[in-house]
Each structure stands twice: as C-alpha cells, then as structure tokens.
Amino acid sequence: MMNGIELCQYFMLTGVDSCNHISCMASSDRFWVSDVCQSLTLTNTAGFVLHRVADLCIDSYGAHTLNSENELIYIDSNYNIKKVSKDIETTTKFLEISHLARQATCVYWSPSTGDLLIGTYIRKLDIGHVMRYNKSGRLTQIAQLHNRELKVCGQPNFIAENTNGDIVVSNYTNFTTGAVVAKDRSGKHRFYYTGTKSEFRPRGICTDALSHILVCDDATRSIHMLHRDRKLITRILEGSEISQCSLSYNSNTHQLWVGLENNELYAFRYINRTDVLTDEHSSSCLYCSGIRIHFTPAIWI
C-alpha cells in the first residue's frame, strides 16, 4: 500500500512495442492491448499471447473496445468498424463509416445502453465528433466536440462513458489546445477541462466506480483525477514514466490499469467495495493526494 494506492500486479507485455490502448475483460484474466505498430494482441496476466489482429487502424489511438459478450470491436485499417466473436473464430464488418472527409479515431461500447460510441475526425476542418450507434448499427446521435473560442479542436483520441451517462473524450492534436470534453447522454455540452497549467496534452482516459474521470497528461506526466463535474481532485502517479500512457478501469476488480509507452502494464487499486457501496468519495480522493510512484520492474503484491 502507498497512502491508499495498492500496486496489485505488474506485466511486461511480450510481442508488443508499446501499450497504446487497453480493453480488459471484467470477469477474466484476459485483455486486448494495441501498440503503435498497428498490432492488436489478446493476452492474459500470465503473459501468454493468445491471438493477434493485424488490420488495426494505425491512425487511431483508442481503437478498440469490448461489449458485454466480450466480443472485440475495433477500427480496421480502412476506418471501418469490425467485430470479433468471443471465441475469436469469426470477424464481421459491423459498420462501414469510412469516408474521405471523416475518419473513425476511437470507439467505446456503453455498458449502460449497449450503444457504440465512435469518435470521428474531419482532418481538413480540424473538427471532432462523437457518433452514437444503437445495437442494430443505426446512427442515432452526432455530438460536435470543438470550441473555436477556447481553441479546443483537434482529434478525439480516447473515449469513455461515466457512470452518470456523460461521454468523456480525450481531445488533442499537436496543433491545438488539448482538452477533456464532456457531453451528457443527449449530446448536450457539459464542460471542457484544459488542465491546470499552460499546456495540457491528454492521452488515455477512463472513469471509475465513483464517477471520477481519470486522464493521463503528457505535459505534467501525471494522471489527473477529476470530479464528474470537472473539478480537479488531485494528480496521482506522478513521474517521468507517465508519458502517452493508456488507462482502463476494471469495474469487477476495481483496478486501474496503466499501460506505459515501454510496454509495461500496472494494475493499481485505490477504491474498495465499501467505497462503491457507500459512495464515499473522500476515501479514494484524500489518500491519493500528492502520490509519486516510481515504476520498477517485476513487482507483485
């Protein structure tokens, strides 16, 4: 334990050049991880490579997700959406949304509605959107992400859904001000979060069981923990290794998975089941304040 944060597991991923994005199975020891080399790998906590997908989109970051049946949904090299069956035997094209003007950049399956949320980007206009598709693959909603006055534009890189129904997006390119953009379930704007310093470079994003929003910031090399209404609660896991990292929250084990650029993956716990049942935010917020963890290899607790 480190002031309330417990380091539970450590993995050195094999056959993966970096840990770009993680999709973990809530009730299993298996997870999908993608890297910058267009590779998507199914592996487990014992370190075995179980399957590979070769046609992942190279321009997308949060390019895969899992539905309630543990079926993989991902963006392929042609910016279309494919689905891989639970037994990994069948791959089908779920949505064909590729267009010369619009590219799919990230996907997220909603546990609460069963909808598929897809972040898209119009490069020529530097405008991002979130598109909502129902279980039948019908487009039901488009929400625009940019704000010209705040200079918040750019590409949606990672997307997640909070327990209150908000859609939260990590929005950043090299030419714009980075931001976490939050929309409610209807697509109405909730807030922008642009960090606490002059530069904010958001990367991986997820939400936890207490409705906190966690986002990796490349500029401060830390993970920002936000209240669901935008306020910064604290920065956790500060250190030079927190760079372009990916985040995933396992709601079954209440573990925060942190994947690093050098293909290391850590699982931390800072929320226990009592916190979730009583919804007492103080225990998971106050204990995290000011924590700096220096990552060392092959640690098991």
Class assignment of domain 6-286?
Answer: mainly beta
Which residue bears the tokens 């401060």? 220
Query: Per residue in 239-294, pLDDT tens?
Result: 777 777 899 999 888 899 999 888 889 999 988 765 565 554 443 443 343 444 44
Residues 3-44 pLDDT 10s? 578 889 888 888 788 889 999 987 778 999 998 777 899 998
Residue 290, pLDDT score: 40
- Return the structure tokens found at 258: 């942190």
What is the C-alpha separation between 234 and 112, in angstroms, rounded? Answer: 27
Does this model's pTM top 0.85? My answer is yes
Residue ranges of domains in the chain: 6-286
Report the C-alpha gap between 227 and 162 in whole angstroms.
11
Distance CA 111, CA 118 (A): 14
Residue 153 pLDDT greater than 60, yes or no: yes
293 CB neighbour count, 10 Å cutoff: 18
Whole-angstrom Cα distance, residue 105 to residue 80? 10
Contacts of 78 by beta carbon, 8 Å cutoff, 6+ apart: 57, 98
CA distance 75 to 232: 32
